[in-house]
Amino acid sequence: MIVIEEYNPDWPNQFESISADLAAVLGELALRIDHIGSTSVPRLGAKDIIDVQITVAELADEIVEKMGAAGYVQKPHLSDHVPPGGDPNPDLWRKLMFKNRPREREANIHIRIDGNHNQRYALLFRDYLRTHPLTAATIEHIKRELARYHPTDWDAYYDIKDPVYDIIWHSAKEWAYFTSWVP
């Protein structure tokens, strides 16, 4: 079921716990570990899944080995959605995807290359929503309606949500330019 919950002020603490473990698992391979997605935006209701982005220099086999040895579950999702107007080069949208270990806090762990479009997209989107609470409230409303109309249809949820996020991404890029945003 797709359920959008009220904002949980403990989500940042939950991220910190996950982040500390991932830092121990990957060591210097992790250039940075960020809380991304809706749970990273104060006051924004979301699915109760912590999204984590690990920024790396390259998607090396060593990352897959270390994550697997630590019990994280790799998912086959190897590329992110390319927004209209985005560079279609698939190398700029590649990623590794893992889920939490069994019986641990539910999390999606996205591993992306430093400076790639998908790595910057996640950080820009988060920071834009943090500084634009009315846009964040609109996102929450859309997600709640999607969950109401498509409570079990994940494909429909993302087929509608992705283009909405693309609209915001274009505004966020403009905002980043005028504010000299740096992730």
CATH of the domain at 94: 3.30.460.10
Q: What string of DSSP letters covers 83-103? A: PTTS---GGGTB-EEEEPPTT
The alpha-helical segments, DSSP class H, found in the chain are 11-26, 61-69, 117-131, 133-149, 154-179
Host domain of residue 30: 11-179
DSSP class of residue 29 equals G
Residue 149 resides in a domain: yes
| 115-138 per-position pLDDT tens digit | 999 999 999 999 999 999 999 999
Residue 56 resides in a domain: yes
Our count of domains for the chain comes to: 1
Report whether 117 contacts 166 (CB < 8 A). no
- pTM of the entire structure? 0.95
| 60-105 per-position pLDDT tens digit | 999 999 999 999 999 997 899 999 998 999 999 999 999 999 999 9
Residue 95 resides in a domain: yes
